[in-house]
Amino acid sequence: MIGVLALQGDVREHLAALAAAGAPARPVRRPEELAEVAGLVIPGGESTTMSKLAVIFGLLEPLRERVRAGMPVYGTCAGMIMVADKILDGRDDQETIGGIDMIVRRNAFGRQNESFEAGIEVKGIDGGPVEGVFIRAPWVESVGAAAEVLATFDGHTVAVRQDHVLATSFHPELTGDHRVHALFVEMVRQSAQT
């Protein structure tokens, strides 16, 4: 079973998108629930609040451990910030889980344009561009050698994968297009077989 981190953010939309992609999922709020899932989606929302709640709920270290141990994770927007090894324009006490060797700048697009939509070609996803919904979105400032850039918009990296961790600046869960979720469901299936 796949989990959706349910501390804060658009949890319901991810649960629905995963179900539509063929993988019914459950919310995860406690370490015991995290221990039971085979993969985890980290939703969009507010990464400073998510970071704070992860500490309060005793989830930050267990999350870091599961990611280090190879659990597949997909982060959208605030979730992308949570899986970044390093962030810019974060709050001083803001923690991330990490998992992708990249530097992510918070609210990067937001400074120019609070929210917008654009067609995004994503490497590994066939059938034309994905509808990208960006809401006070981060962009990826730089990636390390182990991380693969899957998509760019306007010269900025907006989708990245490093091994079992996937991240997008945009929110496929807010559209009817479930191809990115289907890609993640496939990552979880493959990881469960090894």
The response to whether 136 counts as a known ligand-binding position is yes
Total residues belonging to the chain: 194
Q: Which residue has the tokens 């910030």?
A: 81
SS3 letters across 75-117: EECHHHHHCEEEEECCCCCCCCCCCEEEEEECCCCCCCCCEEE
135 binds ligand GLN (CB under 6 A): yes
171 in active site: yes
The response to whether 33 counts as a known ligand-binding position is no
CB 129 within 8 A of CB 83: no
Least distance (Å) between residue 45 CB and ligand GLN = 5
136 binds ligand GLN (CB under 6 A): yes
The response to whether 106 counts as a known ligand-binding position is yes
Least distance (Å) between residue 91 CB and ligand GLN = 9
Catalytic residue among 14, 95, 164, 171: 171
Element of type H or E holding 14: helix 11-20
133 binds ligand GLN (CB under 6 A): no
76 to 115: interface string for ligand GLN, x by CB under 6 A: -xx--x------------------------xx--------
**Range 141-180, binding ligand GLN (CB under 6 A):** none
Catalytic residue among 13, 14, 95, 173: 173
The response to whether 161 counts as a known ligand-binding position is no
The number of helix segments (H) and strand segments (E) in the chain equals: 6, 12
CA distances from 16 to 4, 109, 117, 181, 186 (A): 11, 27, 21, 10, 17
Which residue from 1, 27, 38, 46 is in contact with ligand GLN, where contact means CB under 6 A? Answer: 46
CB 164 within 8 A of CB 188: no
The response to whether 97 counts as a known ligand-binding position is no
173 in active site: yes
Residues making contact with ligand GLN (CB under 6 A) = 44-47, 77-78, 81, 106-107, 135-136
Active site residues: 77, 171, 173
